[in-house]
Amino acid sequence: MDERDSVKIMTERRAHTADAKTLHARASQMRKEMTPEERHLYYDCLKKMPVTWKRQCVFAPYIVDFYCAAAKIVVEADGGQHYVEKGLEYDAARTEHLEKTYGLKVLHVSNADIKKNIIGVYDYIMQAITDRTDGML
């Protein structure tokens, strides 16, 4: 490896570090500015489960709404923008990346279900946790 290769590698590492810092700063900001549906899902559903959840967790290059390490599950609170063509395509690519790269199970829950059927949402997520942990939790 010559000097130019070393400079290129260092530049790429700095860019990656800057991107990571930006992602983490954005995640922190998102935790402070949760939507009403995210707040309802977190405080009235996820916090009542027998597992720990992280809010706005970074899995580069993405930030997920909620993450449970014990079951390797991500829960996404999906608003209307997720149900238009571009949103559906983005979510599909993102879900594929998270599942293949990190071995996560991604659950999408609509804001409408969060507002009108939080008990059903709780049951849906708990079933996924049970499936992923072989009922060990």
Tokens 């996404």 locate to: 76
Q: Which phi and psi (to 5°) does residue 12 adopt?
A: -65, -40
Residue ranges of domains in the chain: 3-133
* Region 3-133: CATH code: 3.40.960.10
Please name which of 26, 63, 28, 71 lies closest in space to residue 46, comparing C-alpha atoms: 71
How does strand 105-110 pair with strand 54-59? Answer: unpaired
pLDDT tens, position by position, 35-72: 999 999 999 999 999 999 999 999 988 899 999 999 99
**Contact partners, residue 18, CB within 8 Å, separation at least 6:** none
Task: Tokens 């996820």: give the residue.
Answer: 46
What is the mean predicted confidence (pLDDT) over 79-100? 78
pTM over 0.85, yes/no: no
Angstrom distance (rounded) from CA 11 to CA 65: 30
Task: Count CB-CB contacts under 10 A for residue 27.
Answer: 17
Sheet holding 54-59, edge to edge: 54-59, 62-68, 73-78, 105-110
Residue 48 CB partners (closer than 8 Å, separation 6+) = 122
- Lowest-confidence range among 12-21, 58-67, 79-88? 12-21
Confidence bin at 137 (pLDDT 50/70/90) = low
